[in-house]
Chains A and B, each alone.
Chain A
Amino acid sequence: MSNLNIDAAKGNTYDVIVIGSGISGGWAAKEFTEKGFKTLVLERGRDVQHIKDYPTTNKFPYEFEHRGEPALAIKKENPIVSRCYAFKEDAMHFMVKDKEHPYVQEKPFDWIRGYQVGGKSLLWARQTQRWSDFDFEGPARDDFAVDWPIRYKDIAPWYSYVEKFAGISGNRDGLSELPDGEFLPGFPLNAAEDYFKDFIKNKYNNRHVISARCAHLSKPNQIHLDQGRAKCQNRTLCQRGCPFGGYFSSNASTLPWAAKTGKLTLKPDSVVESVIYDDAKGKVTGVRVVDANTKESTEYYARIVFVNAGALNTNLILLNSKSKRFPQGLGNDSGVLGKYVAFHNYSARITAEFDGLKQFATDGRNPAGGGYIPRFRNVYKQETNFKRGYAAGLYGSRYMERDRSAIGGKLKDNLLQGKLSPWIMGSHMMGETIPKESNFVNLSASEKDAWGIPLLNISVAYDENDALMKKDYIEQMTEMFTEAGFKNITPNISSQAPGLDIHEMGGARMGRDPKTSILNEWNQLHTCANVFVTDGACMTSTSTQNPSLTYMAFTARSVDFAVKAMNRGEI
Chain B
Amino acid sequence: MIKQVLIMAGGLALLPSCLRDEGKSSIRLTNLEVSLDEENLLAEIAETIIPRTKTPGARELKLHLFILKMLDDCYEKTDQQAFINGLQEFKELTSEQYGKSFGKLSAHQRESTLSKLENNPSPDLSAFYKITKAKTIDGYLNSQYVMTKLIIYELVPGRYNGYFPVKTA
Contact = CB atoms under 8 A, between A and B. Distances in A.
Interface of A: 58, 60-67, 69, 71-73, 187-191, 193-194, 233-235, 237, 358-367, 402, 404-405, 407-409, 411-412, 415-416, 418, 420
A234 B69 CA distance: 32
A408 B114 CA distance: 10
Contact of A235 (B50, B143, B157, B161): B157
B162 A359 contact: no
B162 A190 contact: yes
B108 to A, nearest CB: 10
Interface in B39-75: 48-51, 53, 55, 57, 69-70, 73-75
B165 to A, nearest CB: 6
Main secondary structure of the interface of A (DSSP, over half): loop
B20 interface: no
27 contacts: A58-B155, A60-B147, A60-B153, A61-B153, A62-B142, A62-B144, A63-B11, A64-B12, A65-B12, A67-B142, A191-B162, A233-B157, A234-B157, A235-B157, A360-B165, A361-B166, A362-B160, A363-B160, A363-B161, A364-B154, A364-B157, A364-B161, A365-B160, A407-B48, A407-B49, A411-B50, A420-B166
Contacts of A407: 48-49, 111, 114-115, 118, 133
Contacts of A191: 162-163
A188 B160 CA distance: 8
Nearest to B168: A358
B115 A62 contact: no
A60 to B, nearest CB: 6
Interface in B1-49: 10-12, 48-49
A233 B158 CA distance: 4
Main secondary structure of the interface of B (DSSP, over half): mixed
A187 B53 contact: no
Contacts of A362: 160-162, 164
Given A72-B73, A190-B162, 6 more contacts: A60-B144, A359-B168, A362-B160, A363-B159, A408-B51, A420-B166
Interface string B91-118: 0000000000000000000010011001
B13 to A, nearest CB: 8
Given A69-B74, A72-B74, A407-B48, A187 B163 contact: no
B140 interface: yes
Interface in B116-169: 118, 133-134, 137-138, 140-144, 146-147, 150-151, 153-166, 168
Given A60-B155, A359-B168, A415-B140, A66 B70 contact: yes
Contacts of A405: 118
B162 A366 contact: yes
B143 A62 contact: yes
Contact of A63 (B12, B53, B133, B156): B12
A367 to B, nearest CB: 8
Contacts of B57: 412
Contact of B156 (A194, A235, A359): A235
Contacts of A416: 146, 150-151
Nearest to A59: B155
B165 A359 contact: yes
A359 to B, nearest CB: 5
A568 to B, nearest CB: 50
A363 B141 contact: no
Nearest to B161: A363
A556 B157 CA distance: 35
Contacts of A69: 74
Contact of A234 (B11, B159, B163, B164): B159
Contacts of A404: 133-134, 137
B144 to A, nearest CB: 5
A408 B49 contact: yes
B70 A187 contact: no
Contacts of B70: 66-67
Nearest to B164: A363
Contacts of B138: 67
Nearest to B139: A67
A360 B10 contact: no
Contacts of A359: 165-166, 168
A502 B38 CA distance: 46
A420 to B, nearest CB: 6
A412 B53 contact: yes
Contacts of A234: 156-160
